[in-house]
């Protein structure tokens, strides 16, 4: 079903069954598969492929040569009807690839809202991306990676499959992330190691001086006290009771499956 207000270039191919919302703009030489849904106000500039069982929300800007919902690169994938789900107001720049999920990973690759995916970024199967994240040019996620809200992944950085990147993290360019990165942390290098707290980013997002001080103390307990993780957990838990901003830092320990960067 194509809404009457949609603007579709005659050179583009829209397979029967696709759902195209109001005021969608589809430029020249795009391909939209039969099981695709594109929400109101979304723009496909040109030469965009959207395939598979893919749902794209409202007011997204998708630039030329992006490929969304295509068959993933997991060799176990056998053509199952897995999905891609994308939220609203994302900017998906040239040659970005977002692959469909697998049955082993929950069947879906998810991208939230208000994200910027720069040129040639790759979101592999079963990744879950939060809101207001930035992926710089050539940032690459392996399968099953989770990236929480407000994270920034630098250019030419690769994240190993199954890793978790916490909220407000900044990973520097040309890094290799092989373990989980707790919230608020700056990480850099190959393999990535911690370089302190993302203070400037947190200031921009309205964190108080008291909250920043508490987060910095939690970081020092984890990375500079010389104690093991088991030894510092009770101290960070107590700090989280006094400062709610520390709670995501403490909760991350339970979420980590690949171990924390050290």
Q: How far apart are CA 114 and CA 131, in angstroms?
A: 6
Catalytic residue among 27, 47, 112, 126: 126
19: which 2 tokens? 């759902």
Q: How far apart are CA 97 and CA 50, in angstroms?
A: 10
Is 17 labeled as catalytic in the residue annotation?
no
Catalytic residue among 143, 154, 166, 172: 143
Is 79 labeled as catalytic in the residue annotation?
no
Structural contact between residues 29 and 13, judged by C-beta atoms closer than 8 angstroms:
no
Catalytic residue among 125, 144, 160, 243: 125
Is 148 labeled as catalytic in the residue annotation?
no
Rounded (10°) CA dihedral 133, 136, 140, 144:
0
Nearest to 220 by CA among 246, 191, 196: 196
The phi and psi torsions of 194 (rounded to 5 degrees) equal -75, 145
Q: Which residues are known catalytic residues?
A: 125-126, 143
């Amino acid at each position: 079903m194509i809404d009457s207000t949609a603007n579709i270039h005659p050179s583009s191919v829209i397979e029967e069954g696709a759902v195209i919302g109001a005021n969608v703009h589809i430029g020249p030489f795009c391909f939209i598969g039969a099981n695709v849904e594109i929400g109101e106000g979304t723009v496909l500039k040109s030469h965009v492929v959207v395939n598979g069982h893919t749902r794209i929300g409202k007011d997204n800007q998708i630039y030329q040569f992006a490929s969304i919902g295509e068959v993933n690169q997991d060799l176990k994938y056998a053509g199952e009807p897995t999905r891609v789900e994308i939220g609203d107001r994302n900017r998906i720049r040239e040659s970005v690839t977002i692959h469909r999920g697998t049955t082993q990973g929950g069947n879906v690759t998810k991208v939230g809202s208000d994200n910027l995916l720069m040129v040639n970024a790759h979101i592999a199967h079963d990744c879950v991306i939060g809101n207001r994240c930035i992926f710089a040019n050539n940032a690459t996620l392996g399968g099953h990676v989770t990236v929480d809200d407000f994270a920034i992944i630098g250019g030419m950085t690769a994240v190993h499959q199954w890793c978790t990147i916490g909220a407000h993290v900044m990973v520097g360019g040309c890094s290799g992330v092989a373990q989980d990165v707790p919230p608020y942390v700056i990480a850099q290098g190959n393999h990535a190691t911690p370089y302190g707290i993302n203070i400037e980013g947190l200031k921009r997002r309205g964190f108080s001086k008291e909250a920043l001080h508490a987060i910095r103390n939690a970081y020092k307990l984890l990375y500079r006290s010389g104690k093991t993780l088991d030894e510092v957990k009770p101290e960070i838990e107590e700090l989280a009771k006094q400062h709610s901003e520390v709670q995501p830092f403490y909760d991350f320990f339970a979420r980590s499956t690949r171990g924390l960067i050290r």
